[in-house]
Amino acid sequence: MNALAATNRNFKLAARLLGLDSKLEKRFNMTMLEGPMKGGIRYHPEVEPDEVNALAQLMTWKTAVANIPYGGAKGGIGCDPGELSVSELERLTRVFTQKIHDLIGIHTDVPAPDMGTGPQTMAWILDEYSKFHGYSPAVVTGKPTDLGGSLGRDAATGRGVLFATEALLNEYGKTISGQRFVIQGFGNVGSWAAQLIHEKGGKIVAVSDISGAIKNSKGLDIPSLLKHVKEQRGVKGFHGGESIQDSNSILTEDCDILIPAALGGVINRENANDIKAKFIIEAANHPTDPEADEILSKKGVVILPDIYANSGGVTVSYFEWVQNIQGFLWNEEKVNNELRTYMTNGFKDVKEMCKTHNCDLRMGAFTLGVNRVARATVLRGWEA
């Protein structure tokens, strides 16, 4: 099932659980526009419109789950950033910004990094946008800190994944320490999640990225791996682990907790039966196909869904936007403490919906997000 069909399906299931009127449901699909829209810009060869639409819809529910005052958005360019020089990337980003500068804005749509983009991309967008509209740091988040970016935004999605994992494990009387993790993707999200989990005593037994996959049943030395990746631009060739020939098979490696942190749709009916993890923390967007959801649920695997698990990034993006508008910078401790509070509250709210609707965590998160948007929609008198 493609990403859009899967996201629409989850939305419809949540709407049924909430007993929403079908007219309201239709309204939603036409008007997912509460507050400024927020979401990342992706540069990846597989970017296509249906997937971007699905990712934008996921942002709507994610920002509602996180309880931050935004609607959802996403953008993307079908290109391979690894094949482009820095100056080509800069020109591509500036031309893209020239095309969209009237669509984005501090109170309309505020982009941020996603796969294949980062602080430098945001700096170029900010600079190009400012040529048309004057200097406006709040028009993008995830900027370099020298240009008004928030302390802690770089690590925020990975840190949010850590807080979300701690909240889930706490339900089972467990902590990070001693758990065995497998992480697919070692970019912004995967590498920060690995670093923070390692610092808490978690054992990362396998990681992969586009260059390859490596494993070590005793636990990978993450600080050395980070150094290797910085120098070699990939995990391939790391001496502290054994290489895995088929890097996609990392998803079925033996572990307690699997963290997909790269592409969508990677957990599907082809591999779901072979997954050995007891918990899946969705750091990537839409990593699990609905068919896999069903198979895994029958196996008793607990999945912490993307719209909650990876919401740390957009939450700190919100903090960045607030700081830019107020013209007052927070210290990193404040950012991280606030992030912990949002992630902890989010988990409690999702669990409450699971109890109310007798559903799993994905539907708990979807009903939470959809219900918050539904309440706002009705209050504005848009239900008919």
Ligand X SMILES: O=C(O)CCC(=O)C(=O)O
Ligand Y SMILES: NC(=O)C1=CN([C@@H]2O[C@H](COP(=O)(O)OP(=O)(O)OC[C@H]3O[C@@H](n4cnc5c(N)ncnc54)[C@H](O)[C@@H]3O)[C@@H](O)[C@H]2O)C=CC1
Indicate the residue among 285 and 288 with the shorter CB distance to ligand X: 285
Question: Which letter does DSSP use for residue 320 in this model?
Answer: H
CB of 110 to ligand X, least distance (A): 7
Does 204 interact with ligand Y (rule: CB under 6 A)? no
Sketch the per residue contact string, 219 through 248, with ligand Y: x for CB under 6 A, - otherwise.
Answer: ----------------------------x-
Q: Which position among 186, 279, 321, 342 is part of the footprint of ligand Y (CB under 6 A)?
A: 186
Sketch the per residue contact string, 265 through 304, with ligand Y: x for CB under 6 A, - otherwise.
Answer: ------------------xxx-------------------
**Which is catalytic among the residues 12, 74, 99, 215?**
74
CA distances in angstroms from 141 to 12, 114, 186, listed in the order given: 31, 11, 21
Q: Are 207 and 183 in contact (CB under 8 A)?
A: yes
CB of 182 to ligand Y, least distance (A): 12
In this structure, the strands spanning 242-244 and 212-215 are antiparallel
| Residues of span 63-122 touching ligand Y by CB under 6 A | 113-116
Q: Which position among 255, 261, 272, 292 is part of the footprint of ligand Y (CB under 6 A)?
A: 261
Burial of 217 (0-12, 13-18, 19+ CB in 10 A): middle
Does 57 interact with ligand X (rule: CB under 6 A)? no
250 vs 248: CA distance, rounded Å: 5
Q: Which stretch binds ligand Y (CB under 6 A): 8-16, 181-189, 290-298, 329-337?
A: 181-189
150 vs 314: CA distance, rounded Å: 12
74 flagged as catalytic = yes
Comparing CA positions, the residue from 91, 84, 20, 110 lying closest to residue 319 is 110
27 vs 24: CA distance, rounded Å: 5
Does 210 interact with ligand Y (rule: CB under 6 A)? yes
Sketch the per residue contact string, 264 through 293, with ligand X: x for CB under 6 A, - otherwise.
Answer: ---------------------x--------
Q: Which stretch binds ligand X (CB under 6 A): 8-16, 176-184, 217-225, 306-314?
A: 306-314
CB of 325 to ligand Y, least distance (A): 20
Strand-pair partners of 167: none
Q: Calculate ∠ Cα 346-59-135, nearest 5°.
A: 110
181 vs 370: CA distance, rounded Å: 31
Only one residue has tokens 């959809």, namely: 370
Question: Which letter does DSSP use for residue 317 in this model?
Answer: H
Q: For the beta carbon of residue 66, count every other beta carbon within 10 angstroms.
A: 25
Q: Which position among 54, 66, 183, 314 is part of the footprint of ligand X (CB under 6 A)?
A: 314
Indicate the residue among 182 and 262 with the shorter CB distance to ligand Y: 262
Helical (H) or strand (E) element with 303? strand 302-304
Does 144 interact with ligand Y (rule: CB under 6 A)? no
Q: Are 70 and 56 in contact (CB under 8 A)?
A: no
| Alpha-carbon dihedral angle through residues 163, 168, 173, 174, given to the nearest 10 degrees | -60
Q: Which position among 112, 235, 272, 309 is part of the footprint of ligand X (CB under 6 A)?
A: 112
285 carries a ligand binding annotation: no
Does 165 interact with ligand Y (rule: CB under 6 A)? no
Q: Which position among 81, 160, 313, 364 is part of the footprint of ligand X (CB under 6 A)?
A: 313
154 vs 118: CA distance, rounded Å: 9
130 vs 369: CA distance, rounded Å: 33
Does 310 interact with ligand X (rule: CB under 6 A)? yes
Q: Catalytic site residues?
A: 74
Annotated binding site for substrate: 38, 62, 317
Enumerate the known binding-site residues.
38, 62, 157, 188, 317
Binding site for ligand Y (CB under 6 A): 40, 113-116, 157, 184-190, 208-210, 247, 261-263, 283-285, 310, 313
- Which residues sit at the interface with ligand X, rule CB under 6 A? 38-40, 62, 112, 114, 141-142, 285, 310, 313-314, 317
